[in-house]
């Protein structure tokens, strides 16, 4: 064998060894992540939507069975496996968790218009308006037309409204309930519209303050002050808010108030303040109602994007503590409906075991992005039975809208003459999702 042939043989063996090594790395990666690779012929798969299902009207209970107050709690990025991981870590395999207090359970499918994987903007818009839209779009349909939201309809019918989030106030989920824009990144426009809403409570963080198109702190406060008395992030202002101090130290009872905090100031139960404290303060300011309150925890989504199990479990502790606050309120006020759900699942989380003892748990992440699996829906209170079973996210939005009724002022709420007419969707809103 001449020199050239020997070199060729050596290089061939090296190349083959490299290919085998690469294949082993790929195989090991998928095995560790707990994935099964499936080859799909995309020419044979189409996303189908049934017209018969799309036009199905939302069921509505009798007027006397409608709730006076509605709390919608959205755990961003939460899936069934997130619940399983939190239960096992915090309570043991069969230990009771806060969500076990819900007597009604179901799930919903979250997809945007014309696709399979949703983002928070499209899914929150579906929940807030009962209409599907494209990813990145907030409170508008696929043509960019504003759609009436749950909060806007509630305000027209005499409800007070509030938003509490551990994310930033102009983030996609809170924005979808009260603003309208073709891009979730339009921070200045969303903040401008927040200052022109009829919200009574707005608690949350700010993000990327003064960067790019995001207004700086003073400009943000000025926009919000068009509607709200603004407090925070100074501890004095927050403590007075939580203690419900009398004016002029704290916002007057009934006055619209916004408490804003620095980026990542609200993350878990070690934060100052915490999400459950803020929700308790919001309920104190909104009661006795009627009111609609949207609570959001961003932590499942943020932790799952980072594949960070420790952060996820800390966030789930805050969610459980917040659920206890809301559910205790509902127990004390039997006319309050609480709906706990998610906008989509993030991470493709799988809860498994790490050894043959079958007791040491481990978390396997399929992705750092969103997935298309169905997500939990849980409910308690008047009309909660309607939330059992399976539906699309936009159907859940229509169901919520159908539970609103014309409200008398608080001092006349118990009058027999109160109008309990259930609002109907307009002709344009009755059309099938975009």
pLDDT in tens, 120-143: 999 999 999 999 999 999 999 999
- Domain 69-408 coded CATH 3.40.720.10: yes
Structure-token pair, residue 2: 């001449």
Is there a contact between 69 and 326 (Cβ–Cβ < 8 Å)?
no
DSSP string, 111-178: --TTSS---HHHHHHHHHHS----TT-BSB-TTS-B---HHHHHHHTT-EEEEEEEEETTSHHHHHTT
Task: Please report the sign of the dihedral spanned by the C-alpha atoms of residue 156, residue 160, residue 165, residue 170.
Answer: positive
**What pLDDT is recorded for position 40?**
35
Q: Kindly provide the b/e burial profile for residues 415-434, where b requires at least 16 CB atoms within 10 angstroms of the residue's own CB.
A: eeeeeeeebebeeeeeeebb
Q: Please tell me whether residue 311 adopts helix, strand or coil conformation.
A: helix
The model's pTM is 0.82
Question: Could you give the count of Cα atoms lying within 13 Å of 233 in the half-sphere of its Cβ?
Answer: 17
Q: Looking at residue 360, what DSSP letter applies?
A: -
pLDDT in tens, 248-290: 334 555 689 999 999 999 999 999 899 999 999 999 999 988 9
d(CA 176, CA 242): 26
pLDDT in tens, 148-184: 999 999 999 999 999 999 999 999 999 999 999 999 9
What residues contact residue 356 under an 8 Å CB cut-off, 6+ apart?
Answer: none
d(CA 83, CA 72): 18
What residues contact residue 288 under an 8 Å CB cut-off, 6+ apart?
Answer: 333, 410, 413
Q: Domain coordinates of the chain in residue numbers?
A: 69-408
What residues contact residue 83 under an 8 Å CB cut-off, 6+ apart?
Answer: 97, 99, 376
């Amino acid at each position: 064998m001449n020199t050239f042939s020997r070199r060729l043989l050596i290089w061939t063996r090296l190349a083959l060894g490299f290919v085998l090594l690469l294949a082993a790395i790929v195989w090991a990666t998928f095995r560790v992540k707990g994935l099964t690779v499936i080859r799909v012929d995309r020419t044979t798969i189409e996303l189908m939507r049934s017209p018969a299902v799309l036009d199905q009207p939302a069921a509505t209970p009798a007027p006397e069975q409608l709730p006076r107050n509605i709390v919608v709690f959205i755990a961003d990025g939460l899936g069934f496996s997130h619940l399983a991981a939190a239960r096992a870590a915090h309570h043991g395999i069969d230990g009771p968790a806060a969500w076990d207090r819900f007597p009604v359970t179901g799930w919903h499918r979250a997809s945007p218009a014309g696709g399979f994987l949703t983002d928070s903007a499209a899914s929150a818009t579906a929940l807030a308006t009962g209409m599907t839209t494209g990813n990145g779009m907030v409170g508008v349909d696929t043509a960019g037309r504003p759609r009436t939201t749950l909060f806007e309809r509630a305000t027209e019918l005499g409800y007070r409204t509030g938003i509490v989030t551990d994310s930033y106030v102009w983030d996609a989920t809170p924005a979808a309930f009260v603003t309208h824009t073709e891009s979730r990144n339009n921070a200045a426009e969303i903040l401008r519209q927040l200052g022109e809403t009829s919200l009574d409570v707005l608690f949350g963080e700010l993000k990327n303050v003064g960067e790019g198109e995001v207004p700086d702190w003073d400009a943000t406060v000025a926009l919000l002050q068009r509607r709200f008395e603004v407090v925070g992030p100074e501890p004095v202002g927050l403590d007075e808010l939580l203690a419900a101090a009398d004016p002029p130290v704290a916002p007057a009872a009934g006055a619209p108030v916004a408490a804003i905090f620095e980026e990542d100031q609200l993350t878990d139960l070690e934060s100052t303040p915490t999400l459950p404290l803020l929700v308790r303060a919001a309920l104190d300011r909104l009661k006795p109602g009627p009111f609609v309150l949207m609570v959001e925890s961003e932590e499942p989504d943020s932790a799952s994007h980072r594949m960070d199990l420790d952060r996820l479990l800390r966030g789930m502790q805050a969610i459980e503590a917040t659920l206890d606050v809301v559910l205790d309120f509902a127990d004390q006020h039997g006319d309050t409906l609480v709906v706990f759900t998610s906008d989509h699942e993030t991470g493709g989380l799988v809860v498994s075991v790490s050894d043959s003892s079958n007791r040491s748990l481990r978390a396997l992440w399929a992705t750092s992005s969103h997935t298309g699996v169905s997500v939990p829906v849980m409910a308690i209170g008047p009309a909660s039975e309607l939330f059992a079973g399976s539906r699309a996210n936009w159907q859940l939005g229509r169901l919520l809208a159908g539970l609103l009724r014309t409200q008398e002022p608080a001092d006349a709420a118990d009058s027999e003459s109160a109008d309990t007419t259930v609002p109907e969707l307009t002709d344009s809103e009755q059309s099938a999702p975009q």
